[in-house]
Chain A
Amino acid sequence: MGAAVIQTKGLGKRYGSFWALENCNISVPAGSVSALVGPNGAGKSTLLKILVGLNRASAGQGEVLGKAPAQEESFLSDIGYLAQEIPLYKNLNAADHIKMGAHLNKRFDKEFMQKRLKDLQIPLDRPVGKLSGGQRAQVALALALAKKPKLLLLDEPVAALDPLARHDFLSSLAQAVADGGLTVVMSSHLLADLERVSDHVIVLAAGKTQLCDEIETVLNEHKLLVGPRQNKIPEDDFAIIHETHTIRQSTLLVHLKKGAKVPNGWQQHEPNIEEIILAYMGQAKEGGEK
């Protein structure tokens, strides 16, 4: 993977006395599809809005495609952003949206968009308000892709879609990435989709970055250990992310340090990415209550 397309350092956003996002340090490599996950109110939308220049950070710095985010044409021409509510003009049809896209963007690829919608059998002449949710999401995605962005930021694009429409949307997204030159950051609650479409993950919880790495690295470095309950658990070689205990048994989700070995007496399992993400979210919640 390539150099970082997004890099933030201590990024934060404060509303009054409330920090919606705090000390956010992330780095997203070029060409990756990064999943941005976290509970509601973790600061996902806030982060995306800062990255696209719609929100101004209250603290720290962020660099996107080598520039500081701003609502300027030179910055925005390389970035596609799809807000949570899928903003389209309900009374206009897809053909009107194509015309508008071509008028507002320098590099808009009309033919690409027309072909995409034709392949998906979406009528160009029907007001988008009368299309299905899945079709509307596809029109919005095609619109964002037709401007040939280098970075695409998607805020919960599949949340409201049925399973088939979700699959089709993610398939369209994967095809666009396969064409090359595109980096994607996508927030989502659907952890099961993540391991499939993403190769990079950012976990935000309690307004902070809990995890930011390539999914393969994350899977390699985390283990689920099951063993007899012990009073003392050696913590030199690993960090415990989440632990549960019964009278006789302990279950630990741990982050193994480099070259560390699992001590004797523990049964070792491979957690999936969903279990790992949940463990990090749980950890953040417990930390907040202390």
Chain B
Amino acid sequence: MIQFRLNTHSGVPPYLQIVQQVKQALQVGILQPGDQLPTVKEVVTHIAINPNTVAKAYRELESLGLVEGRTGSGTFVKQRPAGPSPEVQEALSQDLSGWVAKARKAGLDDEAIEALLRIALHKR
């Protein structure tokens, strides 16, 4: 079963952090269709978080079609998130690694690279 973490300094709303952690776990295969998510009460006992936040995250995951709530028995993983196939992701990842290598060669450190990436992400 998955355990959630909470970063209270990220500026990312806590419910989104849970949604992202479930998505990531699905992407890398830690969670698979049929797996059960911890109950709201288990999550709040473990990380002392607001229960409405957990419920909201689960509702969001449900509306994305990734999980389904079964009355009385809990929340279960339905399917993996739609998105590019693993091959496409792999190709993109290789492209990026190549770019990072180029940036390093040009003398940029990690911070400068992150700054460039952030600027590129916010450009539309």
B 52-91 contacts with A by CB, 8 A: 52-53
With a cutoff of 8 Å between Cβ atoms, the chain B residues found around residue A251 in the complex are none
Residue of A nearest to B122 (CB): A268
Please give, as numbers and ranges, the residues of chain B lying within 8 Å of A175 by CB-CB distance.
41, 44-45, 51
Within the complex, which residue of A192, A197, A270, A272 is in contact with B50, where a contact is CB–CB below 8 Å? A197
Find out whether the CB atom of B11 lies under 8 angstroms from the CB atom of A198.
Answer: no
Contacts A196-B6, A268-B122 hold; do A174 and B51 have CB atoms under 8 A apart?
Answer: yes
The distance from the CB of A280 to the nearest CB of chain B, in whole angstroms, is 16
A interface size (C-beta, 8 A): 29
Interface of B is mostly: helix
Cβ-neighbour of A197 out of B9, B13, B49, B122 (below 8 A) = B49
Question: A177-B50, A197-B50 in contact; A216/B15 too (CB < 8 A)?
Answer: yes
Q: How far is the CA of A174 from the CA of B12 in the complex (A)?
A: 20
Residue pair B11, A178 in contact (C-beta under 8 Å): no
Whether A284 is near chain B, meaning CB under 8 Å from some CB there, is no
**Residues in A whose Cβ lies below 8 Å from that of B47:** 196
> Quick check: A197 and B48 within 8 Å, CB to CB?
yes
Contact of A272 among B10, B40, B41 (CB under 8 A): B10
Interface status of A3 (Cβ within 8 A of chain B):
no
Q: Flag if B41 contacts A178 (CB, 8 Å).
A: yes
Q: Is A207 an interface residue (CB 8 A)?
A: no
CB < 8 Å neighbour of A199 from B10, B12, B50: B50
- Indicate if the CB atoms of B11 and A174 lie closer than 8 Å: no
Known: A178-B41, A268-B122. A192 touches B8 (CB 8 A): yes
- Minimum Cβ distance to chain A for residue B74 (Å): 14
- Contact surface of A with B, Cβ cutoff 8 Å: 1, 31-33, 167, 170-171, 173-175, 177-179, 192-193, 195-199, 215-216, 219, 268-272, 274
Q: 13 A-B Cβ contacts within 8 A?
A: A31-B52, A171-B44, A171-B45, A174-B48, A174-B49, A174-B50, A175-B51, A178-B44, A195-B8, A196-B48, A219-B13, A272-B8, A272-B9
